A and B are shown apart, each in its own frame.
Chain A
Amino acid sequence: MRSPKDPSKVLSFVKMSPRGRELVENEEQDENKKMKSIVVEEQEQEEGSESESETGFVDLDQDTLLNVLKRVDLVTLGRAECVNKLWSKVARDDRLWEPIATRFWASTGRLEVSKDYLRWMSFRQAFRASNPRYLGYYTASDFNSIPDFFSIDPQVFSSQIRPWVQNIAKSVVSIRYPDGHIITVAVDLGRFAGFDD
């Protein structure tokens, strides 16, 4: 799976405020940490089995669990990440977050982009970046208001500003933080989509 984080294409943080930068960086660091720990876990963990335990409960395998979790709402999905390690891994799958994120970003038809600052994110990352509340690191009182965001048709975006985004990004979202600065995010299914990652 090709990596969206092509260094030559991601521009610097230059115009972002320290707080906004913190928000986005924390999110990314955590995703990287989680990714590393998942790789280690996979080496240690057995394949999801259907073995019956003595108590009579049968464990669901990952694909079936994904099938169940794609039918629950956002809050239940958040809680699913707290159940155990397997559930945490499955609940983080970006295929579950794509519909949640795209539903959340109502297309307003506006085009307000940061010409100098473009980021790549998975759906889960981008959704949480546009909802600081869901990041959990900051309390509601840290924010005067929820950031403003609007989704942009990737084709429109690419024709006006970044030609290379068109074929790669599934969604483009601009997020304007309360302090006024804007980041533009090209969104694609993150590395957590698919269990062979």
Chain B
Amino acid sequence: MKFCTVKQYFDDENNNNVTNGIATTVIPLPNKHLKIKANNKEMEQYEQELLRNVMPQELTKLILAANYLNFKEALDFFCRTVANAIQNKSVDYVRKFFGLESDFEPGEEEKLCKEFAWSFEGVDED
């Protein structure tokens, strides 16, 4: 039962977790998913499209919506999309993507950079 929470959603008027925009993207997914389940390439294209057209903020909201709706395939799909988006990117890029700031103490951050110096080779351009 993929949509047990959807009924709840429609019943619940005061819903902060899933805005209308998100719902329109997430809910058609199972149909699309079923249609192109056999065809991996189309899924990849859809993923590319999603990455290009959707803002990072929207992407994280999609993840949370899929999580809230208990829709595992969508959740996996969006997580995978985000993972591909940040794959091999720099730390700053990741921070910008998620709207995060470093909350380390200055000494701590320096120590971490030293410890993970090996991971900063061959970073993709933003």
Contact = CB atoms under 8 A, between A and B. Distances in A.
A50 B87 CA distance: 23
A79 B91 CA distance: 6
A84 B104 contact: yes
B34 interface: no
Contacts of A82: 91, 109, 112-113, 116, 119
A100 to B, nearest CB: 12
Interface stretch (A3-11, A52-60, A106-114, A169-177): A52-60
A52 B114 CA distance: 33
Interface in A147-195: none
Contacts of B33: none
B89 A135 contact: no
B103 A84 contact: yes
A78 interface: yes
Interface stretch (A17-25, A61-69, A118-126): A61-69
A71 interface: yes
Given A68-B79, A71-B79, A84-B103, A79 B119 contact: yes
Contacts of A133: 118
Interface in B52-71: 57, 60-61, 63-64, 67
A85 interface: yes
A176 B65 CA distance: 48
A57 B63 contact: no
Nearest to A52: B16
Interface string A74-108: 11111111111101100000000000000000000
Nearest to A77: B119
A71 B83 contact: yes
A197 interface: no
A75 B119 contact: yes
A13 interface: no
A77 B87 CA distance: 9
A134 interface: yes
B115 interface: yes
Contact of B88 (A64, A75, A85, A137): A75
Contacts of A137: 115
Contacts of A50: 17, 64
Contacts of A136: 114-118
Chain A to chain B: the 3 pairs with minimum beta-carbon distance, closest first: A57-B99, A78-B119, A136-B115
